[in-house]
Structure 1
Amino acid sequence: MGEPPHRARPPEDPPEGFPRRRDPRRTRPYGRPYGAPVAGGVPAAPPEQDGARPLRQGGWSAARPGPARAPGRDGADDDLPPSARRYGTPSPPAGPRLPRRLRRFLLGLLALAACAAVTAGAVVAVLRLSSPSPAPGRVTDRAAGVGYPLPAGWRTGAVPPVTGFTSVAGDGRTATVLVRPGGGVTDARRAAVTLADLYGRLLLHGDEVKVADDRAITVGGRTGHSRALRAEYRDVVNRPAYLRVVFLTGSAGRPPVVVLAVAGPDDPRARAAIDSVVAGLR
């Protein structure tokens, strides 16, 4: 005797290795059968199961191995949600990574900052070494083989700010005098003109530079030449500056002497102090 017509045949068991198919007529745990219409007329599809995906028209797809679960002791993942049991527990996100170009730029910026710090430290050290210090009323420059007096309020510096000079003195505000031994030059005027032009371009940077004085001199039994320049500026910040170069020839086994004097701003008192230093060279 056959089965009653009102009863459908139970679903056949899937082949070995396939998950068992759930009867779509069975109600879900929430009280609605699989495939029942929902609001809007869209049927709800049966949920996916581990290892297999249900087909739309019945039947079962081939089992697919799902992602490996997070390792743990037996029953340790019973409290996890279905997504964690299927895909594993989420791992903490990695920190943000900078692009390679940005990393290189930052590294270069750090290197430049380190170089700037080292350079600033060297400049500060040179300024401290060249700062004037108290001294007696006369300076003796043994390398140049000459001595010169110090006007009132002047001091000697430890390190000359221009390369090649062996002594320096000044008032620390407007006037500075530097002395060094000269080379084997026979034409004192030519040497003074050349050096004045060189140091003028190096130190003055004026918009207009004029010759303020050019004459032969005799100081302390030595003959030589003196040339002075005055620089003017078109801006309203910089005031006129004064530069004087004196070249004295050698005598009695002593080498020639080069004297460089700079005053900024240019004023009569600064020039008078420089003239007293040059006149006292011995």
Structure 2
Amino acid sequence: MAGVVAVLALVLVGGWLLMRDEDSAPLAGRPRVTDEAAGVSYAIPEGWRHRKGEPSDHYTSSLAGKHLGGEGGGMVLAGRYGAVPEHALKREAEQKARTNAEIFCHDGSSTIVESRATKVSGRSAHTVAVKPGCEEATGHLRLTLIAVDRSRSAFLVGIAESAERGEPPVVDLVLESAAVN
């Protein structure tokens, strides 16, 4: 009986710790964009707006707003992507991030500063941060590619005009808030 009580207590404490971490996330409790076409949802930071309208060929939803300090701004775009097996997520995410970095540098120059496997709602995903390579670019780009199921993937790309001082860019916080519908 003592063993059953100990296991039950461990499960309850572990569950509480997991829930507490989610509730303490920077964008916890914020309204969310639910992108049915891509199969994902993500938080809307305070002062940001969900850009409603017809989806484009590449993107199915978007957000835009100012940085926390009020200077500069950013946007988050989401979209659907074809099936990507887990072993190919890194390659596909890095390629898609570099392609999106052409927004900053039309010559395609960029450097991957972070590339890591992650999970979104328990699904395999890969996140890539890219630094544009041209001199005039001061922006920041982060992309997360998520294997939604065997037949499709989804991506979120966050683009910030300039790096925020001392804080993670708001676009990074939005990408971290992503969930699979």
Q: TM-score range by the shorter chain?
A: 0.5 to 0.7
Query: Which residue number in structure 1 is paired with residue 177 of structure 2?
Result: 280
In the TM superposition, residue 245 of structure 1 has moved relative to its aligned partner by: 1.3
Looking at structure 2, the residues matched to 274 and 217 of structure 1 have their Cα atoms a distance apart, in angstroms, of 17
Greater relative contact order structure (CA < 8 Å, 6+ sep)? 2
Which digits, 9 at most, give the CA deviation of each residue in 1:228-280, with x for residues without a partner?
Answer: 1112543xxx45111111111123x7831111111111224774422221222
Q: RMSD value over aligned CA atoms?
A: 2.6
SS of equivalent to 2:175: helix
Which structure carries more strand by proportion? 2
> Identical aligned pairs, as a percentage?
25
**Which structure 2 residue ranges, 5 or more long, are not aligned?**
1-29, 67-71
Which residue number in structure 2 is paired with residue 144 of structure 1? Answer: 38
Is contact 1:137-1:150 (8 Å) kept?
yes
Does 1:260 pair with 2:157? yes
Residues 193-231 of structure 1: CA distance to partner in whole angstroms, max 9, x if unpaired? Answer: 110121112x01178632221111112211111111112
| Residues 1:228 and 1:206: Cα distance change in structure 2 (over 3 Å) | farther
Q: TM-score, normalised by structure 2?
A: 0.68
**Counterpart for residue 180 of structure 1:** 79
Larger Rg: 1
Q: Which runs of 5 or more residues in structure 1 are unaligned?
A: 1-135
Q: Paired residue for 2:118?
A: 217
Which residue of 1 is the match for residue 51 of structure 2?
Answer: 157
Distance 1:160 1:261 in 2: 19
Relative to structure 1, is the Cα distance of residues 162 and 219 closer, same or farther in structure 2, using a 3 angstrom cutoff? same
In structure 2, what is the equivalent of residue 193 of structure 1?
A: 94
Aligned to 2:38, the other structure's residue is in SS state coil
Aligned partner of residue 275 in structure 1, secondary structure: helix
Taking a change above 3 Å as real, the CA distance of residues 274 and 150 of structure 1, as seen in their structure-2 partners, is same
